[in-house]
Amino acid sequence: MNQIDDVCKDIEKTINLTVQNTLNTLEHDCEQIAELIDNKLAVDRFDACLVLKYCNVGIIDCSQYTVIDLLTCLCISILLV
């Protein structure tokens, strides 16, 4: 009976390790997806700034903004409407 218990414990350890590895991979994948979404939103904000043509008429120079600052650019654009 002791050998069966040992085998069961080994199987349980293997299952637990596999589940933990899968959860770690899932967490990493979710972080990558969130980053991709954030990047896409930043691009969309930049596009919105251009579409509003504030950059083209010289009210706002969007080229001075980094991707992180593009939300600020959009907010300034909206305030100037």
pTM score, whole prediction: 0.54
Closest CA to 62 of 46, 43, 48: 46
| Tally of structural domains, the chain | 1
CB count within 10 Å of CB 76 equals: 15
Q: What pLDDT, on the 0 to 100 scale, is given for residue 61?
A: 60
In terms of pLDDT, which residue wins out, 37 or 19? 19
Q: What digits encode the pLDDT tens for the residues 35-45?
A: 988 888 777 76
Structural domain span for residue 35: 2-79
State the CB neighbour count (10 A cutoff) for residue 71: 15
